[in-house]
Chain A
Amino acid sequence: MNQSIRTDNALTAFSKIIILVLLLVAPALNADAKWWIFGKSDAGVSTRYIYLNDLSYDELGNKVTLYRESLPQGKIFIRGKGTAGKNRIGAVQISIDGKQSWQKAKVTSNGSFLYSFTPESDRTYELYVKVLDTTGKSNDVDASRKELVISDENMQDQVYKTLDQLVKAYQDEDSFAFMRLVSDQFVSGTEVLDSAIRQDFTAFDNISLNYTLNNVARAADGNLFVAISYNRMVTSSRSGETFSDHASTEFTFKLENGTPKIYSMKNPLIFGLSDAGEVATGTINSGENNQVLSVDDSGNIRLIPLGNIPGDGEGSLPLPTSLAVTNLTTWHSISLSFAVSPNIVGTPDYEMVLEEALSGSGPWAEVYRHVLDSTTISALVTDRIRFGYGPFLYYRIILEKVSDGSRSLPSNVVSVDNRPTG
């Protein structure tokens, strides 16, 4: 039965996906939309691949900036492979001055070629690659055009520039400017981050964010690892309260056309906190358990210890507060009340969990669980209360989200006198 329901759900979900995809690609059905162009290459002479210092030519934009400090031996290496159908590759020529002059590349018998030159700083090179077969036919030379600039700035300067622009866009609450500095390959998905920062902009007002760079490390493929310390202050647009925190965090950046763009982020997040469980990929290995900002499902802000940040895919639940004992009968039944965001009371996805302990620091045991249909627990009798485990018992409330099993932080702890009466 369960299996068939699951299959039905999957089918429904699948059909919805198909419909949505069809709607989204509908404009492509226009005869002018040449989306099927892939693979329609000239059957004659072409290049199978070209690399510019180990960077794939196809994935570079028209304008490329490379940093002198990243050049092996201070040189630019252009290597690739040409094909000519049944013919052989006769020669490969490279122009670095906009086709004004051509230089011969070294070519092997299988069409692989290599050319290198030592570039000057702050000069723009206009690159073209011409592949000729033995009959003199050539590839589409204009399609190989790249503008190349060699910058003397170091990677650290570039990281500063990008982070400054990200922080400014975030403080200005400008999602367009912000997302321009996020890689298309952002690990958690650009759509997820875009939604999360828009929800940040709804939750925060008067964002003030400052950072200092701790460390930049570069991988062989050009990716960058960046560690920072930050301090920030925000006003909650829901409650009007002001919150501030400071901690360290880590990013990785991908170099795209000379600009470092965000590739992944770890907790504690400085961007996209509203969906931290989806946006962050892990939590930094910090030696300090700082109090950091967290935004719950309702857009409320709170400070929580770094070690309590929800893990991947978990939501951030509202914190139950003001737990108090409202009544303790002679039969030692207990009544309690607490406070929580009224928006979630009555929601079937939330349950309240009451935990009991013999000391204020635990260990805690669950003694009561119920759908969060109110913020009171009336005349509860537990084994320990009934038999006078005393002298004191301690209670706290935790909220649990049924759909994903995530839990809130515990409420304040209350104690009751459990000594036998009479």
Chain B
Amino acid sequence: MFYFLKGPKRVLLSATILTCLLFTTSAYAGNNLSLWNDTSIVFTDLSGPGQSSSSMTEGIRHYSVLDLKSRGKLDSYDYSFGIGFKATDDKRRDSKKFSLTSLSGRLSNRVHTFNIGDTYESFSKYSLNTAIKGASYHYLNNANQIPEITLLGGIAYTRWDNFWDTDATERKLYAARIKQDLTADLWLAASAVVIKDNRRNFGSPLYDGNTLSFDLEYRPLPGLTIVGESSFSHIDEDNLTSGTIKHNGQAYRLEAIGDQNPSRVVLEYERVDPDYLSIAGSATADREKFKASWRYKYTRRLTVTTAFLWYRDNLDGQLAVRTQHYKPEISFRLQRMFNRRYAVGTLGYKMDRSYSSAASTQNHFINVSYRDRFGIFDSTTNLGMTYYETRTVRKNDEFVANTSLSTRMTKGAIIWKPTIYLGTWHSDNELNDEVDHSYEYSVGLGCDIPSKKITSQLKVGKHKLFKESADDAERFYASLNVYYRPRLFARLKNSTLYLRGLINDYDYTTDSRDFRENRITVGFSVRF
């Protein structure tokens, strides 16, 4: 079986499929089986001299996904099984014409849990936060003092077809975690992750090594949680240009979260060595960070949020200069403004400041928004002002404003939902002495006929971009989406026939760039 695969891959894939077949057989024996299929045909017509710029594929293309799930009981164990496929001849939607998208089986009696196939366990921030194709075992028994144990192993491929078709770096991953409740308010855990890369893919580096992490959570007071983690990585990087580089580093973090009305306060400190490398977890090397945030419900109507983030690099002085970053922010959210029942206003300011002896950047973001209902009309208005300044590189002001108005009216059996949208953007680039701006307007009309199980939405609009030093661009767009759930499908949950139409017409100052996209999608989605 699977003669084209070698060693552990063949065993892994065969075992997975056999397990799934076993579950499927069991599912036929009276357990819960569900299926979801979405199939569509897409007609795309591209025209104009600039059509190569389009992200759409011309012609008639199909797209289909199929997911099969089964749940049930085997003696005292719950089991679930899932398998999914995708088929399309549109390379921009998927590079494969036919692919196995998911394959997993799970068996659990709440104490012992076995998983095979698509396996994802998130141990802790630094240790493990990625999915593998493999297997895992999890032990958890609240009735005794035996620690919670998780073991897993497999290959960290993005897709199943990496096993037999598209070569990716073969990243073998083995991990274990043990977690113990020391008291009702304190637990400690240790995690070990071993990584071994085998096949180089388009010149990418190969990694070989391990990461050992310890994390804890402590709740000393009601509403206060303290989280900590310390991690050590020993990873060899085999790089085509630099040879083997040894990464031996440490990372640690401490976080305190106070969450009890009316406040939520978070304090966080983190330090990650320049030589700390986390392949399966999440960490940015060469980083010392401090963060404080405080959300306070000042009254039932007013909430104030303040936050401050600082971080810097060059922790070992290995770079020529050190860059410091400061990101303070404050925002206010007021409900029932002007004693109006539906009025909600927000005001926010953020600063993004970074500097070193060689570069300096400061960006300021100010936003105001107001949402309200006037009679039968719902209205949302946003205003934004941004100022970007990077010494000798960038200096520009931006202003964004948009507003939308919508309502909902019932006339007989039909619900009408008209909308209007107006937006503008203005950019003043002081360094290049250029002023650019854009406008957008659109109207929409939703039409629902609940008795006929029909929902639809029509939208037509135009977007104009005026540039001082490049082509102006104008885009006309129109879209129509219709969804119908016929009586035939009444016994099937969430099953729908749909029709989607789309027109995008791009018109540039340089005529050779003009193009138009016309697309019609017809499809059905069935679930039972």
Contact = CB atoms under 8 A, between A and B. Distances in A.
Nearest to A143: B261
Contacts of A201: 400
A189 B259 contact: no
Interface stretch (B244-252, B311-319, B334-342, B443-451): B311-319
Interface string B435-475: 01010000000000000000000000001010100111101
Nearest to A194: B350
A146 interface: no
Contacts of B47: none
B223 to A, nearest CB: 5
Interface in A296-350: 297-299, 305, 307, 312-313, 343-344, 346-349
Given A191-B309, A212-B65, A307 B71 contact: no
Contacts of B365: 195, 198
B185 A48 contact: yes
B470 to A, nearest CB: 4
B222 A39 contact: yes
B53 A344 contact: no
A229 B284 contact: no
A191 B350 contact: yes
Given A223-B120, A240-B467, A298-B394, A79 B142 contact: yes
A27 B142 CA distance: 44
B485 interface: no
A25 interface: yes
Interface in A193-249: 194-195, 198-199, 201-202, 205-206, 208, 210, 212-221, 223-225, 227, 229, 231-233, 235, 237-242, 244-246, 248
Contact of A343 (B129, B393, B400, B475): B393
B80 A69 contact: yes
A348 B324 contact: no
B94 interface: yes
Contacts of A112: 184
A156 interface: yes
B184 A48 contact: yes
B27 to A, nearest CB: 14
Contact of A35 (B150, B294, B438): B294
B287 interface: yes
Given A198-B386, A240-B471, A242-B53, A220 B113 contact: yes
Contacts of B171: 285
B416 interface: no
By size class, the interface of chain A is 35 or more
Nearest to B321: A403
The DSSP consensus for interface residues of chain A is mixed
Given A25-B306, A264-B282, A176 B367 contact: yes
B122 A252 contact: yes
A46 B221 CA distance: 11
A35 B265 contact: yes
Given A38-B221, A285-B168, A313-B287, A195 B321 contact: no
Nearest to B392: A347
A233 B86 contact: no
Contact of B259 (A9, A34, A58, A305): A58
B158 A404 contact: no
A220 B121 contact: yes
B326 A20 contact: yes
Nearest to A364: B241
A41 B296 contact: no
Contact of A217 (B131, B279, B326): B131
B168 A187 contact: no
B369 interface: yes
B215 interface: no
A289 B156 contact: no
Interface residues of B, number: 144
Contacts of B291: 189, 191
Interface stretch (A89-97, A276-284, A413-421): A276-284
Given A208-B55, A217-B120, A250-B158, A202 B398 contact: yes
Interface in A86-144: 112
A287 B168 contact: yes
A130 B104 CA distance: 40
Contacts of A41: 221-223
B141 interface: no
Interface stretch (B12-20, B159-167, B406-414): B159-167
Contacts of A278: 284
Contacts of A189: 289, 291, 309
B359 A217 contact: no
Given A195-B363, A231-B55, A206 B168 contact: no
A370 interface: no
B169 A285 contact: yes
Interface string B388-400: 1011111000101
Contacts of A288: 95, 166
Contacts of B62: none
A63 interface: no
Given A347-B359, A403-B323, A212 B93 contact: yes
15 contacts: A21-B308, A27-B304, A48-B219, A49-B185, A194-B350, A202-B398, A212-B94, A213-B65, A217-B119, A237-B425, A237-B436, A240-B470, A252-B129, A281-B284, A287-B162
* Closest A-B pairs by Cβ, 6 of them: A287-B166, A349-B358, A240-B470, A233-B55, A39-B221, A217-B120
Interface of B: 34, 36, 50, 53-55, 63, 65, 67, 69, 71, 78, 80, 84, 86, 88, 91-95, 99, 101-102, 104, 108, 110, 113, 118-122, 125, 129-131, 138, 142, 150, 156-159, 162, 165-169, 171, 184-185, 201-204, 219-225, 258-260, 262-263, 265-266, 279, 282-287, 289-292, 294, 296, 298, 304, 306-310, 312-313, 317, 319-324, 326-330, 346, 350, 352, 356, 358-359, 363, 365, 367, 369, 382, 386, 388, 390-394, 398, 400, 425, 427, 431-432, 436, 438, 463, 465, 467, 470-473, 475, 493, 504, 506, 508, 513
Given A156-B67, A214-B102, A242-B53, 9 more contacts: A25-B292, A38-B263, A41-B223, A189-B291, A220-B121, A225-B131, A287-B158, A312-B283, A403-B359
Interface of A: 6, 9, 13, 16-17, 20-21, 23-25, 27-28, 32-35, 37-39, 41, 46-49, 58-59, 69, 72-73, 79, 81, 112, 152, 154, 156, 173-176, 184, 187-189, 191-192, 194-195, 198-199, 201-202, 205-206, 208, 210, 212-221, 223-225, 227, 229, 231-233, 235, 237-242, 244-246, 248, 250, 252, 263-264, 278, 281-282, 284-289, 297-299, 305, 307, 312-313, 343-344, 346-349, 402-405
